[in-house]
A and B are shown apart, each in its own frame.
Chain A
């Protein structure tokens, strides 16, 4: 179940990422507070061309507009990702997956233990036999953050941009200080998740791509060739 939900989420994440980029291209300017448009000073602008002629980007051309299908797919992928996430969360609670595999042991959270784990990462020490079957403390903390902070925040700020959701549950927006703030936070959470994805792939690569991918797909660790 953990692996199935992982790969469904992966597919959804790519769909959300690509369509999210398409959507942001139509207005690569960000604001803070409730409202903002091209006549308002921006909090910051992305140095990219836009898909709408009304946005002053400094580029002499306008990219093709892909927002229609991007928005349809963004929300459909979000529905699948949210349902998958809920399934995973319920499963993880019932089977104690979170407690067994993700909550770090108390001893691992001491400054010295954390430091030695960071140091062995920095020396690119290849993972030992034990680590092929269990997550180390840095993995556990990162995964917990991604699962319980980053993804929920991305969903929440996404919902906060909906005028209908905001009408029924105004607090979803006011907690961020406005709809444009929610949009800006949504952008930063997405950037964080993209960085996580890149590091995640790099770590799988360094730990032995074929072995790790086999473990992530089949569930069998198979640390050595002769045991495989």
Chain B
């Protein structure tokens, strides 16, 4: 018994030491390569960091699945009501002609775009899945300008690491890392299934990130801020989601 347990003790000790120093090295590397999510603290931070880190390594350039036209859902579900305030209704009454998307932060030329201006940029249409964290989903054709075109137009500075986006609904704001911001399928969406984007689905402008769950796809976006750190935004957790108890990264 003593022989076996001594050997066991030594191997376990060695494994634990190797594991601990391995973890320390891994943490430094992960930080350098941007594999740590802003909500890495707290009791669930470890699992969240593993998920985000591994998925960033595996999915940096992967493309969300696109579907044939026959797969488009006949009943896309608009979760929630459009904003009820007067300001939104006034904009809606004028066909959103006065809607602006401001882009600021770490950019060479801060700018503000109207719907018509965004529509003059190269557009992309894609038939993708929108899945809610609750479990339901639908497939639709989304049309918009890839976010990287907008970012190219304003000249993103090299130290940029995140794009924070805000909605006319003040309590719904979010952010993505540059891998998702520059991803060709990330669209400032203004059309759905061949029509204007309905207000129920976020019209006039919604950020569509098909590799993440529905709640990252903020509706009624009005402002984008390019930044190198999320510390100054809200409670510094990256978006309104972790402040409400939900993960910042929603690729699951």
> Which B residues are within 8 Å of any A CB, using their own CB?
44, 46-48, 50-51, 55, 58-59, 62-65, 67, 71, 73, 75-77, 79, 129, 131-139, 210-213, 244-247, 251-252
Alpha-carbon distance between A34 and B76 when the two chains are bound, in angstroms:
13
Alpha-carbon distance between A201 and B210 when the two chains are bound, in angstroms:
43
Chain B binding site: helix, strand, loop or mixed by DSSP? Answer: loop
Chain A, 18-68, CB within 8 A of any chain B CB: 23-24, 26-27, 29, 34-40, 52, 54, 67-68
A161-B252 contact in complex given A34-B67, A167-B59, C-beta closer than 8 Å: yes
- Which of A29, A54, A78 has the most CB atoms of chain B within a 10 A radius of its CB? A54
Alpha-carbon distance between A44 and B9 when the two chains are bound, in angstroms:
52
**A165 close to B48 (CB less than 8 A):** no
B210 partner, pick from A35, A54, A69, A163, beta carbons under 8 A: A163
What B residues does A39 contact at CB under 8 A? 75-77
Q: Taking CB as reference atom, which chain A residue is nearest B138?
A: A35
What B residues does A36 contact at CB under 8 A? 136-137
**B64 close to A71 (CB less than 8 A):** no
How many residues on the A side are at the interface (Cβ–Cβ under 8 A)? 39
> Which A residues are within 8 Å of any B CB, using their own CB?
23-24, 26-27, 29, 34-40, 52, 54, 67-69, 71-73, 75-80, 161-168, 170, 173, 179-180, 183
**B134 close to A164 (CB less than 8 A):** no
What A residues does B48 contact at CB under 8 A? 72, 75-76
B247 partner, pick from A38, A72, A180, beta carbons under 8 A: A72
What B residues does A78 contact at CB under 8 A? 47
Alpha-carbon distance between A79 and B63 when the two chains are bound, in angstroms:
24
Q: Taking CB as reference atom, which chain A residue is nearest B77?
A: A37
User: In the complex, what's the smallest C-beta–C-beta distance from B22 to chain A, in angstroms?
Assistant: 13
**B138 close to A173 (CB less than 8 A):** no
Alpha-carbon distance between A24 and B133 when the two chains are bound, in angstroms:
10
**B137 close to A79 (CB less than 8 A):** no
**Which 7 pairs from chain A and chain B are nearest by CB?**
A76-B47, A68-B245, A164-B251, A39-B75, A72-B44, A27-B135, A37-B136
**B62 close to A163 (CB less than 8 A):** no
What B residues does A26 contact at CB under 8 A? 133-135
What A residues does B50 contact at CB under 8 A? 79
Alpha-carbon distance between A162 and B129 when the two chains are bound, in angstroms:
11
Alpha-carbon distance between A68 and B246 when the two chains are bound, in angstroms:
4
